[in-house]
């Protein structure tokens, strides 16, 4: 529904979206009792009735180099790992866009890891984005599977996906997480998959599948979110929202998801403009690495004692993470700081 109240139209930049080391909680409502919201300016959407009784997951980015398969995605600088399914989604975040480069892992439960490379990429959002921002993205992937389970030698799948994105509305949205100024992104995807099975070098089966999806993302530049506060899939033929995913926690620095232990590390001053002092509990030599929000290493070096000072004068304004590794125990400690000049 529309509202007579005037809200601010916002712009989404790269710094408004979570980066290296940030995690959020997202909840999926698989049978949402909500109606599709209208497009246009100065809208008010109320989805406060979404439920949190279905599935919840943590979503966030580690560095691409932490995970197996990173060499298959040389342009990726971030990654989303799912230990439950033993898969990793490799992502490239730049000041211009957020792109999925592909997926690596045991994709089909066969016990064998495979790389699913998107050529050139699956684009999620461009930066900056505001009302009426548009882009078109087309990508392909090819996959060859052992056909033993189907009594053939191999099964080959070739997929082409065409994606059209349009920011078709702005206003405020309410979910169980809160109320936010947002811009809404409408994404239409048309996907064609050709499947061929081969036996003794000859094709014995062929099929073509065509799928269409309509997805809406509600993006905010609120620091308490740093991602789309809501996304849902919509069936325009039945006028039904089929699944909704909403953010259910503020972003946190939580690298424990990736096997990293967050322990006692003190850094000061914070914010800083020229110099940063690192102080850590425990004995032994340490290696330090300073990583920016895109997962790129900005500085690295060695600590021989418990306290060291490093110059950050060459770093641009922004949020950085100190990643400290004990050379003897391999324990990793992390902490975040801000460069502000």
Dihedral sign, Cα of residue 45, residue 6, residue 169, residue 134: negative
Q: Final residue of a domain: which of 231, 253, 275?
A: 253
Query: What was the pLDDT predicted at 312?
Result: 93
Query: What was the pLDDT predicted at 253?
Result: 67
For residues 208 and 312, membership in a common domain is answered with no
Alpha-helical (H) ranges within 61-178 are: none
- Cβ-contact 321, 262 below 8 angstroms: no
Residue 165 belongs to some domain of the structure: yes
For residues 274 and 137, membership in a common domain is answered with no
For residues 244 and 284, membership in a common domain is answered with no
Q: Final residue of a domain: which of 228, 253, 278?
A: 253
Report how far residue 113's alpha carbon sits from residue 108's, in angstroms, rounded to the nearest whole number.
9
pLDDT exceeds 80 at position 21 = no
* Segment 96-134, tens digit of pLDDT: 999 999 999 988 777 788 899 999 999 999 999 999 999
Q: Final residue of a domain: which of 184, 219, 253?
A: 253
Residue 7 belongs to some domain of the structure: no
Range of the domain at 290: 261-339
Query: What was the pLDDT predicted at 256?
Result: 43
For residues 209 and 294, membership in a common domain is answered with no
* Segment 149-177, tens digit of pLDDT: 788 999 999 999 999 999 999 999 999 99
**Cis ω for the linkage preceding 98 (within 30 of 0):** no
SS3 257: helix
* Segment 56-79, tens digit of pLDDT: 888 888 888 878 999 999 999 999
What's the Cα-to-Cα distance from 18 to each of 170, 225, 252, 293, rounded to whole Å? 21, 8, 10, 8
What's the Cα-to-Cα distance from 248 to each of 271, 299, 308, rounded to whole Å? 28, 34, 38
What's the Cα-to-Cα distance from 215 to each of 118, 165, 198, 276, rounded to whole Å? 20, 10, 35, 44
For residues 247 and 275, membership in a common domain is answered with no
For residues 285 and 249, membership in a common domain is answered with no
Residue 9 belongs to some domain of the structure: no
The CATH number given to whatever domain includes residue 314 is 2.60.40.1930
Residue 42 belongs to some domain of the structure: yes
For residues 240 and 310, membership in a common domain is answered with no
Lowest mean pLDDT among 157-161, 265-269, 318-322: 318-322
For residues 299 and 189, membership in a common domain is answered with no
Residue 144 belongs to some domain of the structure: yes
* Segment 244-260, tens digit of pLDDT: 999 998 887 654 434 44
Report how far residue 332's alpha carbon sits from residue 263's, in angstroms, rounded to the nearest whole number.
8
Cα three-residue angle 125-127-129, rounded to 5 degrees: 80
pLDDT exceeds 50 at position 6 = no
For residues 192 and 215, membership in a common domain is answered with yes
The percentage of the chain sitting over the pLDDT mark of 90, rounded to a whole number, equals 56
Total of domains in the chain: 2
Residue 54 pLDDT class (50, 70, 90 cuts): low
Query: What was the pLDDT predicted at 60?
Result: 83
pTM of the model: 0.80
For residues 141 and 281, membership in a common domain is answered with no
Residue 321 belongs to some domain of the structure: yes
Report how far residue 24's alpha carbon sits from residue 246's, in angstroms, rounded to the nearest whole number.
10
Residue 327 belongs to some domain of the structure: yes
Residue 6 belongs to some domain of the structure: no
For residues 74 and 93, membership in a common domain is answered with yes
For residues 292 and 188, membership in a common domain is answered with no
């Amino acid at each position: 529904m529309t509202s007579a109240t005037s809200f601010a139209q916002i712009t989404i930049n790269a710094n408004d979206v979570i980066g290296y080391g940030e995690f959020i909680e997202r909840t999926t409502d698989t049978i949402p009792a909500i109606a599709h919201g209208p497009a246009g300016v100065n809208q008010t959407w109320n989805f406060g009735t979404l439920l949190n009784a279905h599935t919840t997951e943590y979503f966030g980015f580690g560095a691409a180099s932490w995970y197996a398969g990173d060499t298959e995605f040389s342009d990726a600088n971030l990654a989303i790992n799912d230990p439950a399914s033993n898969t990793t989604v490799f992502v490239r975040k730049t000041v211009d866009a957020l792109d999925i480069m592909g997926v690596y892992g045991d994709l089909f439960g066969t016990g064998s890891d495979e790389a699913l490379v998107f050529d050139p990429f699956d684009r999620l959002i461009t930066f900056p984005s505001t009302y009426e921002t548009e882009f078109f993205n087309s990508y392909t992937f090819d996959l060859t599977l052992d056909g033993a389970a189907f009594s053939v030698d191999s099964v080959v799948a070739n997929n082409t996906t065409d994606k059209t994105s349009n920011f078709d509305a702005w206003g405020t949205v309410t979910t169980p997480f809160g109320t936010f100024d947002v811009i809404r992104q409408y994404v239409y995807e048309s996907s064609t998959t050709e499947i061929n099975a081969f036996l003794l070098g000859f094709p014995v089966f062929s099929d073509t599948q065509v799928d269409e999806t309509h997805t809406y993302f509600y993006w905010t530049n609120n620091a308490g979110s740093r991602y789309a506060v809501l996304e849902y899939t919509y069936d325009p033929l039945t006028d039904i929202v089929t699944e909704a995913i909403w953010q259910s926690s503020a972003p946190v620095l939580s690298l424990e998801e990736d096997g990293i232990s967050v322990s006692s590390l003190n850094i000061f001053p914070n914010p800083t403009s020229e110099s940063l002092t690192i102080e850590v509990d425990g004995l032994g030599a340490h290696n330090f690495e300073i990583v920016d929000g895109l997962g790129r290493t900005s500085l690295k070096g060695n600590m021989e004692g418990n306290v060291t000072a490093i110059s950050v004068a060459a770093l641009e304004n922004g949020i950085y993470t100190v990643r400290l590794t004990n050379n003897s125990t391999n324990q990793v400690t992390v902490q975040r700081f801000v460069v502000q000049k």
